[in-house]
Chain A
Amino acid sequence: MDASQNSAPAAPTAETPAIRVENLTMSYGDFVIMRDLDFTVQRGDIFIIMGGSGCGKSTLLRVLVGLKEPAAGRVVYREGSLWDAEPEKRDQILRRTGILYQSGALFSSMTLAENISLPLSQYTRLSRKDIRELASLKLALVGLAGFEDFYPSEISGGMCKRAGLARAMALDPDILFFDEPSAGLDPVSAHLLDELILELRESLGATFVVVTHELASIFAIGNNSVFLNVDTRTMTASGDPKELLAHSTDPNLRHFLTRGQE
């Protein structure tokens, strides 16, 4: 893994990284999707997981957030290794994370406010009123003030995504995961979502892990990344995507970053 060592993280710090992925191999049955993934997400990074369709980006995300067990290797958070931990400990680690799913994945039987309140009422001892106010605040942060009592089916796809982001932020997580945030959004909405991510990073100081193949987003927000190569089924590069575009010699990666121009 020469590439991963060449590219130093943007802000080198002495503290432990947010996520450390070691020799991770993922498979469905006998079919190996990705092998020997090895990278580090530093605190405060906007870390991009990029690669062509079907290369295992979303599967990697599922492994990182505890939904799919890896075939081999470790995912180490600040609190400990995710997959070696007992289920209770794993839940505790994951409570420091929030996830925005590709479709938003809002609970369709609940209003937006109830969606956001659900984790709050489970894991905090706040009063109903406080929870309601927190839910309103999170909705206002993503530009959905006043939509508290709407059901997911009553709002547009882009709004669902933003509401999903509000729910992901409900417990003020340290790490936020995004699965294809700009998929299905018009360019302006996608751009606004990027802006929102940057703003939230500034103000919350959280770490972001973003799965995407949207080049505009990759260059706009990413300061570190990993490229999954669908042909070799390994990661072929990692580092700042802008640096990679400037200096990488990997033909597959260049092909990807230049929209197939090179």
Chain B
Amino acid sequence: MTYQKTQTAPADAPRREILTENGILTLRLTGVWRKDRPFPDIQPVLAALAATPPPKALRFDTAGVAGWDSLFLTQCRAILALAGERRVDVDLSGLPDGTASLLELAQKVPERQGAARKTSHAPFLERMGDLGLGLYQATGNLLEFVGEMTLACLALARGKAVFQRSGLVALMYQASIEALPIVSLISLLVGLILAFVGAIQLSQFGAQIYVSTIVGIAMVRVMGAIMTGIIMAGRTGAAYAAELGTMQVNEEIDALRTFGFSPTQFLVLPRMIALVVMMPLLCIYADLMGILGGFIVGVLMLNINPVQYLTHTWQSVPLANFWIGLVHSTVFGVLVAMAGCYRGMRCGRSALAVGQATTSAVVTSILAIIIATAIITVACNIIGV
């Protein structure tokens, strides 16, 4: 098949002649007036209508029109609007069957005053003010959520929290076993990378054995926790936001509320528990996988004796680092669950809002993880561990 662009317009292209007779403007239209053909410029018609004195009447002669669609109607509408403004008498009878009635239909309900959105740009100060007010409101919302969460935790402590035990088990399973493959892969690779980077420097001094220390301390103290935190933010935090957001859209949260269940206790609390319990366990697992990664590099590439590598790791990583890692991961568990559930619970009632909730859940949790790491690191430095 060959495509040819012909310079000459096809025979049935839309054409327009403007005839003026005794002050009566007649538009003689021929051809097929459809979207796929270029329409003649509308300007001459508008110019003829805008001329002074304006024409007495406007008529259409469309005997030669072989076809039309809604684009033709928009042209007619523009012409009629100007004709109406210029108080020109319009005779619609010349238009093809159906066009006149469609045009009347479009004019039947007048445009609602103030319904069309103004796209004006707000002045700088107004935008700053809006931003400030939005921040103020967001802070209030967040504090309210933290408060609700605290009350729910207190209810839990008193054994009065209402949620489904079976649901909690499923959530724990999702936040642990199902996350193992990706946590394994990423931690192993991070351990491997750390070992490689360290090995290049250390082998210059013949101190390859210290690769085990670098990998061990880095993974156990902070990297294991951060990697699991970020994986869970993308995996589970996003899932929580999407799940709760969809429940919001689907009126499920309203339904819970009207049954007298507190959504915070019923939905948020079990998710929080699942992550806070499972994150430290995942973190320990990630530590081990990271050390395994370093082990592979140390043994296979640097020819360190396997037993020596492991004993050195065991001896050179202080136990305090292990606890610091666990503190990190517990805090991350709280943060990821809070961010995911907060965004989900405050989700609007549309598909768009669910997408936004999910995105901001992930962004918020990753940001919170990094900030929390910084704070914990400085705090550890101050108390000297």
Chain A residues in the interface with B (C-beta under 8 A): 62, 65-67, 91, 94-95, 97, 99, 101-103, 105-109, 118-119, 122-123, 167
Contact = CB atoms under 8 A, between A and B. Distances in A.
B254 interface: yes
Contacts of A123: 260
B260 A95 contact: yes
B251 A103 contact: yes
B171 to A, nearest CB: 10
A67 B250 contact: no
Given A106-B252, A107-B252, A108-B252, A67 B257 contact: yes
A105 B259 contact: no
Most chain A CB neighbours (cut-off 10 Å) among B252, B256, B260: B260
B258 interface: yes
Interface string B150-176: 000000000000101001001000000
A61 to B, nearest CB: 10
Contacts of B261: 122
A80 to B, nearest CB: 16
Give the top 6 A-B pairs by smallest Cβ distance, nearest first: A105-B251, A91-B260, A105-B255, A101-B251, A119-B259, A105-B252
B250 A99 contact: no
Interface string B134-163: 000000000000000000000000000010
18 contacts: A65-B258, A66-B257, A66-B258, A67-B254, A67-B257, A94-B258, A97-B258, A99-B255, A103-B251, A105-B251, A105-B252, A105-B254, A106-B255, A107-B247, A108-B246, A118-B164, A122-B259, A167-B255
Interface size band for B: 10 to 19
A82 to B, nearest CB: 12
Contacts of A101: 251, 254-255
Interface in B251-291: 251-252, 254-261
The DSSP consensus for interface residues of chain B is helix
Nearest to A102: B251
Interface of B: 162, 164, 167, 170, 246-247, 250-252, 254-261
Contacts of B247: 107-108
A30 to B, nearest CB: 14
B173 to A, nearest CB: 13
Nearest to B260: A91
Contacts of A103: 250-251
A187 B254 CA distance: 28
A67 B258 contact: yes
